[in-house]
Amino acid sequence: MGTMSEPRWLSAEEQRIWRDFSAAVNMLKAHLEAQLQQDAGIPLTYYEVLVVLSEAPGQVLRMSDLALATRSSRSRLSHAVARMEAAGWVRREACPTDKRGAFAHLTKAGLAALQAAAPGHVDAVRYSLFDPLTPEQLGRLGEISGAILERLTPRCTEAAAAELEAMDADIARG
Amino acid sequence: MGTMSEPRWLSAEEQRIWRDFSAAVNMLKAHLEAQLQQDAGIPLTYYEVLVVLSEAPGQVLRMSDLALATRSSRSRLSHAVARMEAAGWVRREACPTDKRGAFAHLTKAGLAALQAAAPGHVDAVRYSLFDPLTPEQLGRLGEISGAILERLTPRCTEAAAAELEAMDADIARG
DNA sequence: GAAGCTTAGTTGAGTCCTCAACTAGGAGTA
DNA sequence: TACTCCTAGTTGAGGACTCAACTAAGCTTC
């Protein structure tokens, strides 16, 4: 190793927390994924796309904005929307002002699929996350998540996301 | 909906917590995955297999036990070990007493790969999880993880895992 | 208006995962 | 022994993701 400093290994307690956290998160995601896939045939990430689209004004969003809002790569979103379009949940439309751009529209079928899937998904989230935690723990979890987010979110992405929300709010207002 | 009861939707506050938590977890996993993949060429799940194997007495484990310890499906582990064997990190060996069985041995190269990857990975975990949290938050996170785990871990799996640990302890004791 | 950078979005190859089907050996019972 | 059931592990197909390469359009600058 030469000049390299010794890595700061995790203490036994830190290891326990890390492994429990890691396991909990994995099981939680697997649980939600399986529920959604089995009951509604929708992968979790596609579900999130549907949710974001359904909340967008006019239920339309530029691909880039959709990628930003779902924290997905453009590539991933492009593949996903291609599949969702094939499923009839989303329709792509060219942007008239910027010919590079593309809009993703939520279709009736997409909204219906979302509405059919939502109750089961919400139940699963309640069952596996909200129910086993006390209100205090929930509050803590919110703080903790915020701290991690702040650490890992690059400033520019943050700014762009805030802008997007502000735009949404403007449109909602009128 | 007919006789179905109304789903218990999430409140605004619950939604905020859930979305932040979800986003934080996604970014955390993506961050660790990218670091490990770039710096060591090892996917996170394979890394976990290496860790578990390295801690096993004799650095050997039956496939089933390895699957249990890594909370992986047998199929996933089988695919993973196939790849890791191709990479020279693991060697499979037939079990003499139960001819259905297979052992997974950690090889020298596998241990070396793990040791090369570990410091960077630990740093990444510290950076993205431990550093941004206060000691109190960390304790809470441990509790929260425990509560989720307890909710989602089936009793039989739990018992099997405990047994495996006890066995390890026995062997360690000599 | 042409050259060169930047942005929007897609594509294809390769990887990891899941699911269901499969092989094969162990275990219990007649 | 033969029958049934169970357990250990593998396999292949197909889906989702990543990465890098690509097309195409906008934007600057001269």
Q: Which of B174, B120, B167, B114 is nearest to A9 (CA)?
A: B120
For residue A141, the SS3 value is helix
Query: Which pLDDT value is given to residue B2?
Result: 43
Contact flag, residue A43 CB and nucleic strand D, below 7 A: yes
For residue B103, the SS3 value is strand
Q: What confidence category does residue B172 fall into, taking pLDDT thresholds of 50, 70 and 90?
A: low
Whole-angstrom CA distances from B83 to B42, B49, B107, B163 are: 11, 12, 14, 28
Count of CB atoms within 10 A of residue B38's CB?
A: 9
Contact across the interface for A142 and B21, Cβ inside 8 Å: yes
Element (H, E) at A2: none
Could you please report the per-residue DSSP string of A13-78?
A: HHHHHHHHHHHHHHHHHHHHHHHHHHHH---HHHHHHHHHHHHSGGGEEEHHHHHHHTT--HHHHH
Residue of B nearest to A23 (CA): B149
B119 touches chain A (CB under 8 A): yes
Contact flag, residue B83 CB and nucleic strand C, below 7 A: yes
Contact B114, A7 (CB under 8 A): no
Query: Which pLDDT value is given to residue A1?
Result: 46
When pLDDT is averaged across residues A123-136 and rounded to a whole number, the result is 97
Query: Which pLDDT value is given to residue A2?
Result: 44
The DSSP code for B114 is H
pLDDT in tens, B99-146: 999 999 999 999 999 999 999 999 999 999 999 999 999 999 999 999
Query: Which pLDDT value is given to residue B161?
Result: 72
Contact flag, residue A45 CB and nucleic strand C, below 7 A: no
Count of CB atoms within 10 A of residue A120's CB?
A: 15
Count of CB atoms within 10 A of residue B63's CB?
A: 18
Count of CB atoms within 10 A of residue B27's CB?
A: 18
Contact flag, residue B108 CB and nucleic strand C, below 7 A: no
Calpha distance A48→A46 (Å, rounded): 5
pLDDT in tens, B11-23: 999 999 999 999 9
pLDDT in tens, A2-40: 445 566 799 999 999 999 999 999 999 999 999 999 999
Chain A window 122-141, residues with Cβ within 7 A of nucleic strand D: none
- In chain B, count of helices (H) and strands (E)? 7, 3
Calpha distance B69→B72 (Å, rounded): 8
HSE (side-chain half, CA atoms, 13 Å) at B169:
6
Q: Residue B115: left (phi > 0), alpha (psi -120 to 50), or beta?
A: alpha
Count of CB atoms within 10 A of residue A131's CB?
A: 11
Query: Which pLDDT value is given to residue A153?
Result: 87
pLDDT in tens, B144-169: 999 999 999 877 666 677 766 776 66
Contact across the interface for B17 and A145, Cβ inside 8 Å: yes
Determine the distance between B88 (CA) and D8 (C1') in angstroms. Answer: 23
When pLDDT is averaged across residues B67-87 and rounded to a whole number, the result is 98
- pTM of the full predicted structure? 0.91
For residue A87, the SS3 value is coil
Query: Which pLDDT value is given to residue A4?
Result: 54
